[in-house]
Structure 1
Amino acid sequence: MPDLLENLTKWFSERPQWLQVAATLLLGKNELTAKDVSDLAILCQQEAAGKIPKKSCSFSASAFSKGASGTLRLCSISDVEGVNALAPKKPLEFGKGNITVVYGYNGSGKSGYVRLLKHVCGARALGELHPNIYKSVSTEQKASITFELNGTKKCHHWSGKGICDDLSSVDIFDTSFGRVFVSSEDEASYEPPVLSFFSSLIEVCERVASALEAESNQHQSKKPNIPADKKITAEGIWYESISAKTKQQDVDKYCIFESKDETEIQTLQQRLAEQDPTEKAKHLKKQKQHIDILVQDAQKYLDQLSDENCRRIIGAKKKSIIKKKAADTAAEKVFSGSQLEGIGSDVWKELWEAARKYSTSTAYKELEYPFVSDGSRCVLCHQTLSLESKDRLTSFENFIKGEMQQAAIDAAKEYETATKTVGDIPNPESLKTRIDAAGIQQDEISSQVTKFFSQLQSRKDQLPGIDSEEAIPTAPQKPKWIEEINTHSKNLGDLAAKYEEDAKNDNRDQIKKKRDSLLAKKWLSEHRASIEEEISRLKVLSQIQVAKKSTNTKSLSQKKGELAEALITDAFVKRFNTELKNLGASHVKVELVKTKVSKGRVLHKLQLRGAAQNALADVLSEGESRIVSIGAFLADVTGKSSQAPFIFDDPISSLDQSYEEAVVKRLIELSHNKQIIIFTHRLSLLGTIKHFAEKKSIKPDVVSIRSADWGTGEPAPIPLSQSDIKSALNALMSQRYQGAKKANDNGEFEHVEILLKSMCSDFRIILERSIENDLLCGVVQRFQRPVHTLKLKDLPKLGETDCNFIDSLMTKYSGFEHSQPAEAPVELPNPDELLADMTALKDWREEYSKRTV
């Protein structure tokens, strides 16, 4: 063992961390709880995610040393319901000894009890446990099994399913076991502690794998199905292929959908729907032109009404006012002596200029105005100018041509020019027409445009009334709608270019593909949360799958197989050969071989030496197959350290007398240390067991069962042919005689007749048994093969009187064992007469047993 275990620590250090923890737990307890398994499943996942540090566990050879062997005894079976036809009113007791024979005729319930025990104890081949098929109403299956475990009496109440862990070590041999190792491969039931440890660890792996699978099943996909028309896009293909390895940057790439994408979808839809892309391009260009002009005008009026231009206009206005005021002052001095009002005013100046024009163009062509030569006349009244009039006209002209007057004129012209720098702003009706022509359909932008031009008009209207720069209102800022419709203008230009391209090239398939791609992207963006949830789910599942891989039992099975080769197979084969020899079957050319190791189960099979493995069942006779399977069974179960019972259901079926005796001898030998329970319908087997048990100073417990009106399995008296003569005779003389006597006293004569016939028949059998065991000293007995020649020494004590006594009783009661002639039936004795004969036999047996030769 130390040599086999010296590398166990190293071997386990190369196993997954969670498995090492599981191994350590198993060393401290026989079985892991559901919480232990759950914790191990969590640890397994954490290890798969790289979240636990690497540690190693160590093992010592003493960890797998054998503990104390326990003792187990079956005591009784009671309260059976719903199992075959079993319906016993009394418990089936197995006695106090180590070998018990349960005898019963065919159909008495033996197989029903064995099937029940197989299900309670968990035999290899359970089979199906049927209820009573002759009852129309199904009864719930249940039974109570009492047993002693390490000296403590316990009771297991079986409720139709599951096995009793305390009874799981009970081994049962029946017809089904006859096929184990012979017709198929199977594993040995005994395992050394280190292999049991590996078996438990393999079971833990399977339980952890089941826990991980259950965890995996809780993470059901909520991933929505993408519409069929979107599956064929690049986005749809990506969606269908998302996995635990899908990166966040891929999600961002495929699942972000912006307003520009929606706009592009609409654009693509429009392009696909357009029948004449050339005309559409022209229309879009016109819309763009109207937008551009509208933006240009807005910017132009914004510049014309800027604070700087307004200050320039107001400055020109102020200058004109000042200059005019200065000229008016000078004119007042010039025209102060005038007889008329308004000389020098603007109206007068207009009159003066009109007179000038008339004079130079008509009255005095090309002559300087005013013409004041001799004889000249006034161009207005045509009177000859006097000297005073000439001087007045000359002074007027000098005033008009003076610097101050000219400055006032120039300033007025400058102001007029500045005012004209602000053009005519479109009125609301004209503006609406231009907005519609530009294709601006959004009411919000349209109202912003209208409001902006209204603000410009208001500023322009206020400008003439403003006399100082300080009074200039705040200039309107460049509106946001200009940027927006500029973008729209650019989009129109781009779209027009695309329509022109569409007109040149047949690219509808390409447009449709791009549109579908954007629609798929929109769908993905709407389901982004589900996609990210699915990726998270797949990552969890991937981690669980990685964890599940570490629960694979292959390495454990291989290691167990290595250990089993020396610890199980060699010892198993040796025991099997020994059992064949003990059973007298060494000549049968069979061998037990290991076939394989599967999930820690070391499988063995019987095969013929030097022949094909599958020929065994076909070559061996039925008896040979039975004795070989018994040998394999005994070799298997005798390897156990526990003192658990063996149960045999008709083990000698198909065996000849030699094999039968060999099996009986082996069972009696095993009964020294284990409880042996044998179910049989053969009196010969019962007699053989009693014979060989007696030779070993062992008294078997014999239990009889029978079929009653209410069902099978009812405990009954032992057959008289196999019961103790003294006990049987006492039972006739006490219990049954009293019943007949009471019926006779009560005048129940028909019942009395039935009872007396039965008692006479049984007394006749007792007489036969007395001849075999007493008169002939047990030299030869029915149902037993041996002839006890040594007992011949006691025959000399037999005398004529003894023969006559037995002969008289045999003559008297033999008639009750044969059919009675109707014309002369044998008369039944009365109860007292029968009692007297039975008493006489009792007395004779006691005296004869004490008699010496």
Structure 2
Amino acid sequence: MLEILRWSQNRPNWQRDALRRIVQYGSLGAKDIEQLTNLCVDSSLPHAPLSEAHISGRASEEASISLKGISRPVNVNALAPGQSISFQREGMTIVYGDNGSGKSGYVRILKYACRSRDKNQKILRDIESRSDEPQSADIEFFCGSDERSWGWTPDSPSHSELPFVSIFDSRSASTHVEKTNELAYSPLPMQVLETLRDACDLIAEEVNKKIKSINTQTPDALLNPKINANTVGGKFINGLSEKSDIAKLEALINLTPDDEAEMKSLAADLEGDSAKAIAKLSAVKVAFGQEAKKLKELVEVTSEEKVQELASAREDHTKKVEIAKTASDRLFSAAPLPNIGSELWRELWEAARRYSDHAAYPDKTFPEATADHDLCVLCQQPLSEEAVERRNTFEQFVKGETKAAEAKAKRRAEDALRSIESKQQNHDFVRELTRIIGLELDDPELSMSMRRAAVVARWRLRAIRRGHVPRLPSVPFPAENAKVTWEKLTRRIEQLKGDEASPQRKEMRARLEDLRSRKYLKNFESDIRLEIERRRRIAALKESGKTAAKRAVTELNKSLSDKLVTDALRGRFAREVQKLDIGCMPLELQKSDRNAVSLFRVCFVERPKEPVGDVLSEGEHRCVALAAFLAELVTSREYSGIVFDDPMSSLDHLHRRSVARRLVEEAEHRQVVVFTHDLAFMFELKREAEAQGQSVHYQHVHRRQKQPGHVKGDLPLKAKPGLELANAIRGELKAVKSEFDSFPEARRSIMAKGFIEQIREGWDQGVADFIMPVLGRFDNRIATGSIFKLAVLNDVDVSTVIAARKRLSEELHLYSEALNPSDVSHAGLVAEVAALEDWLRDMKERQGKASLPARSSA
């Protein structure tokens, strides 16, 4: 076992925990497999690995463990509460109980706490009890000479010391029948490994079940995707694994508005009439180009730069007007009328110039005129010298530098304004632009950006025309997006112009399929995410399932087989077989391998190929199990207690005696506790113990008022010698002395019947005690050397017994002197007990004084 412990240090956590459970309990139940499977899948779960303290064959010289008792069982089967059962620390303890007495309830508690192969039997609660109090019991035990106790519950973690106590029952020994005719024996360490090997298979199966269960959760949309496997989406969905990248999935499924628009347009192009599509796209391209150009020009002329240029021109013009006005004020300060040289006056002057040059004096150039001959073109009065001079002065002013600069500044401001106004667009332009881009090109994003640019530009132009500075900031023309759209249109038209087999068409179809595959992924995003998580769980399960491989276990099993089954163990088994009188031919252990596991067949020494199972009886099989169990104890360095649960199953009286002798022999150097319902076997143990000078501690488990589990520290009445039985009856009579005669008739009659029956059994046991020196109870051996002790019997004895039997007879109508239960008094019953006791003492005294008859000299 120490080698298994060392080997386990580098094993997975679940195997270390499994080894601990196997060593402590001998087997693994369904709950164990479930918990170990969870630990196999998640090694971080709480667990308790095998340690030196768990090993039954201790590596250090630790004190032996022996049981002291079980007390205060609560809701354990139907055991009476508040009861306790005790065990002798050394030597033999016999616990007797009839079927249904509750004896098995105490055994089951020990099977849970100690080392037993039979741990799968659940301890049920009392089905008639309404109490919901948790099941529990206290187990007292000795570790060496130290007294200790442990509060047991079904869910308590395993105790570190109690498993050193071994329990034998129908499953405890390492003997089993294979194919009904072959017995195989395997020492404890190898049994542990075999159980671990089987656990590997079970856990691998459970892991595979988990994997299959997860696989069934994959939806059909992912098992049979309606998607081209050569597309980006198809490759992703068909390549789903635990390594699939969620970030890549998110990048694929996040289709932009441009992607959506492209998918729609590609579908329309490829699934309709190519010629019509080309014509339509060409028209859309032209319209888009024209409208985009208009918008670009509108945005440009209303840009901050152009607004600044216009403002600068207007400001320059204003300045030039002020300069001209200043010059005019200086020049015409004496003029009879104000504002000479102003804009309004300038318009009047230029109007007069046009009229004079074209109508009044076409042969002259205004303001050329002759005094007294020419008329003023405005008042049509003859011009005086002064008037002619004033006209020339006015003309010089108009033709002067300041006035020319003013005129130039005015023209620049007017040109700037006309340039802006020339790009003006009405509301229908905005509506048409939106329609082309939003509906024809199915590009709402570009449509919104262009519409915004158009609306803002029109508002800015309106403010400019009104001479205001636009308060809305300029929105740039989306030139890059417009260029991309233009190029897409151009490419689409070129692709449509190609035939079905052209690279352009193939490119379009591949692009459409890719977009549709990404849309498919988007529709099943949640399923795909869950599937990736499932694949990761499956990968983790497969990785953990690798730890369930049993190869390392079987290799260790094979390497240990030769080391463990030593000559000492083989010899011990042979001796045990001989002591138990098994069969008529010698048996031995022979090593064999099966499924990479080493087994040790029980076979006949002289005929190893003969099927042992066909030769040995069921009782002999049981003895082989006992031999194997007892032989295995040689591998342990300490002498902890052993418990036998009805070891006599299927045994005849010959093997019963051999087993009793062997168990009493074992009780010489360790605690031996025997639970039995076989009264004959109990007497066999009693006789063997007395013959070897051993004391026996008795416990009697019985029912009381239909409730099982009551315990008395004594033999059952039916097993007591006559005098002890009479003393017990006297004690019970003493307990009811004050009330018996005053009981109601029915109760007194029922109780009296019970006492009469027990006293009658006392006389029967007294007769058996008289014969016992020659033939013991449940014994077929006759001690002829003591037959002389029967010679003390005389006519008075016979009359005494017959008379007592008549008084105590059940057949009241046959004997007039028979006791009537309804009339008998307490004193009468006591007198009957006294008569029995007197006869028993007298008989015992006379038999003790009897001697062998003198031999005849003849």
Q: Do the structures match in fold with TM over 0.5?
A: yes
Deviations 1:759-780 (A, max 9, x none): 541342243134224xxxx133
Deviations 1:607-643 (A, max 9, x none): 6779999965455322222222222222234533343
Distance 1:105 1:742 in 2: 31
Distance 2:197 2:42 in 1: 17
Within a 5 Å distance, the mapping from 1:394-409 to structure 2 comes to: none
Query: Which of 548, 564, 576 does residue 573 from structure 2 map onto?
Result: 576
Within a 5 Å distance, the mapping from 1:697-708 to structure 2 comes to: 697-708=693-704
* 1:659 aligned onto 2:655: yes
* Partner residue in 1 for 2:342: none
Work out which of the two has the higher radius of gyration on C-alpha atoms and give 1 or 2. Answer: 1
* 1:123 aligned onto 2:125: no
Worse-matched range after superposition: 683-692 or 262-271: 262-271
* Partner residue in 1 for 2:782: 787
Distance 1:296 1:756 in 2: 126
- SS of the residue corresponding to residue 673 of structure 1 reads coil
* Partner residue in 1 for 2:96: 103
* Partner residue in 1 for 2:855: none
Distance 1:139 1:103 in 2: 30
* Partner residue in 2 for 1:822: 813
- SS of the residue corresponding to residue 768 of structure 2 reads helix
- In the TM superposition, what is the alpha-carbon distance from 1:277 to its structure 2 partner? 0.8
CA 1:170/1:805 → structure 2, altered by over 3 Å: closer, same or farther?
farther
Query: Which of 560, 565, 578 does residue 563 from structure 1 map onto?
Result: 560
CA 1:89/1:813 → structure 2, altered by over 3 Å: closer, same or farther?
farther
- SS of the residue corresponding to residue 168 of structure 1 reads helix
- SS of the residue corresponding to residue 635 of structure 2 reads coil
CA 1:619/1:268 → structure 2, altered by over 3 Å: closer, same or farther?
farther
Distance 1:44 1:87 in 2: 43
CA 1:555/1:691 → structure 2, altered by over 3 Å: closer, same or farther?
same
* 1:639 aligned onto 2:627: no
Distance 2:727 2:636 in 1: 44
- SS of the residue corresponding to residue 182 of structure 1 reads strand
Deviations 1:414-435 (A, max 9, x none): 9999999987766577655666
Worse-matched range after superposition: 70-79 or 535-544: 535-544
Distance 2:840 2:301 in 1: 151
| Residue segments in structure 2 that go unaligned for 5+ positions in a row | 26-35, 45-56, 328-348, 366-372, 374-398, 439-446, 853-858
Query: Which of 257, 266, 269 does residue 268 from structure 1 map onto?
Result: 266
Q: How many residues align?
A: 730
- SS of the residue corresponding to residue 176 of structure 2 reads coil
CA 1:612/1:109 → structure 2, altered by over 3 Å: closer, same or farther?
farther
CA 1:437/1:91 → structure 2, altered by over 3 Å: closer, same or farther?
closer
* Partner residue in 2 for 1:809: 800
* Partner residue in 1 for 2:834: 835
Distance 1:771 1:677 in 2: 30
Within a 5 Å distance, the mapping from 1:336-375 to structure 2 comes to: 354-355=362-363
TM-score, normalized by length of structure 1? Answer: 0.64
* Partner residue in 2 for 1:362: none
Within a 5 Å distance, the mapping from 1:147-166 to structure 2 comes to: 147-150=140-143, 151-159=145-153, 165=159, 166=161
Query: Which of 161, 165, 173 does residue 170 from structure 1 map onto?
Result: 165
Deviations 1:581-615 (A, max 9, x none): 2212264575545667999x986665677999996
CA 1:655/1:259 → structure 2, altered by over 3 Å: closer, same or farther?
closer
Query: Which of 618, 623, 648 does residue 619 from structure 2 map onto?
Result: 623
* Partner residue in 1 for 2:482: 488
CA 1:497/1:677 → structure 2, altered by over 3 Å: closer, same or farther?
closer
CA 1:594/1:421 → structure 2, altered by over 3 Å: closer, same or farther?
farther
Distance 1:751 1:460 in 2: 130
Distance 1:721 1:459 in 2: 128
Distance 2:187 2:846 in 1: 54
Deviations 1:450-499 (A, max 9, x none): 7658978999999xxxxxxxxxx999xx9874552x75366246425524
- SS of the residue corresponding to residue 102 of structure 1 reads strand
Distance 2:426 2:678 in 1: 122
CA 1:620/1:427 → structure 2, altered by over 3 Å: closer, same or farther?
same
Distance 1:76 1:451 in 2: 96
Query: Which of 670, 677, 682 does residue 674 from structure 1 map onto?
Result: 670
| Residue segments in structure 1 that go unaligned for 5+ positions in a row | 32-36, 46-62, 326-340, 358-377, 379-404, 463-472
Distance 1:147 1:348 in 2: 144
CA 1:103/1:535 → structure 2, altered by over 3 Å: closer, same or farther?
closer
* Partner residue in 2 for 1:285: 285
Distance 2:791 2:409 in 1: 179
Q: Which amino acid aligns with 1:67?
A: E
- In the TM superposition, what is the alpha-carbon distance from 1:566 to its structure 2 partner? 0.5
* Partner residue in 1 for 2:137: 144
* 1:765 aligned onto 2:758: no
Distance 2:70 2:807 in 1: 37
* Partner residue in 2 for 1:465: none
Deviations 1:528-579 (A, max 9, x none): 9999999799779867865775686743563355235313576554432221
- SS of the residue corresponding to residue 666 of structure 1 reads helix
Distance 1:300 1:104 in 2: 112
Distance 1:112 1:532 in 2: 54
Distance 1:157 1:12 in 2: 30
Do the aligned residues in 2 keep the contact of 1:79 with 1:144 (CA within 8 Å)?
yes
Do the aligned residues in 1 keep the contact of 2:770 with 2:843 (CA within 8 Å)?
no
Q: Which amino acid aligns with 2:626?
A: I
Distance 1:552 1:638 in 2: 32
Worse-matched range after superposition: 72-81 or 136-145: 136-145
TM-score, normalized by length of structure 2? Answer: 0.63
* Partner residue in 2 for 1:335: none
Deviations 1:709-750 (A, max 9, x none): 323344466356743444334445565478579746989784
* Partner residue in 1 for 2:334: none
Do the aligned residues in 1 keep the contact of 2:586 with 2:605 (CA within 8 Å)?
yes
Output the aligned Cα RMSD: 6.7
Distance 1:305 1:731 in 2: 129
Deviations 1:16-75 (A, max 9, x none): 8x98xx99xx9xxx99xxxxx9xx999989xxxxxxxxxxxxxxxxx9843324221243
Q: Which amino acid aligns with 2:64?
A: G
CA 1:817/1:705 → structure 2, altered by over 3 Å: closer, same or farther?
farther
Distance 2:405 2:106 in 1: 137
Distance 2:300 2:728 in 1: 139
Distance 2:576 2:264 in 1: 91
* Partner residue in 2 for 1:83: 77
Q: Which amino acid aligns with 2:572?
A: R
Deviations 1:804-853 (A, max 9, x none): 45334334334367664725434459454752563354255346536777
Distance 1:700 1:415 in 2: 138
- In the TM superposition, what is the alpha-carbon distance from 1:152 to its structure 2 partner? 3.8
* Partner residue in 1 for 2:682: 686
Distance 1:230 1:591 in 2: 70
Query: Which of 696, 701, 723 does residue 692 from structure 2 map onto?
Result: 696
CA 1:751/1:209 → structure 2, altered by over 3 Å: closer, same or farther?
closer
CA 1:250/1:789 → structure 2, altered by over 3 Å: closer, same or farther?
same
* Partner residue in 1 for 2:753: 754
Within a 5 Å distance, the mapping from 1:14-413 to structure 2 comes to: 65-76=59-70, 79=73, 81-83=75-77, 86-87=79-80, 91-95=84-88, 98-121=91-114, 123-126=116-119, 128-129=121-122, 135=128, 142=135, 144-150=137-143, 151-159=145-153, 165=159, 166-177=161-172, 180-183=175-178, 190-191=188-189, 233-239=231-237, 241-246=239-244, 250=248, 254=252, 257-258=255-256, 260-268=258-266, 271=269, 276-291=276-291, 294=294, 354-355=362-363
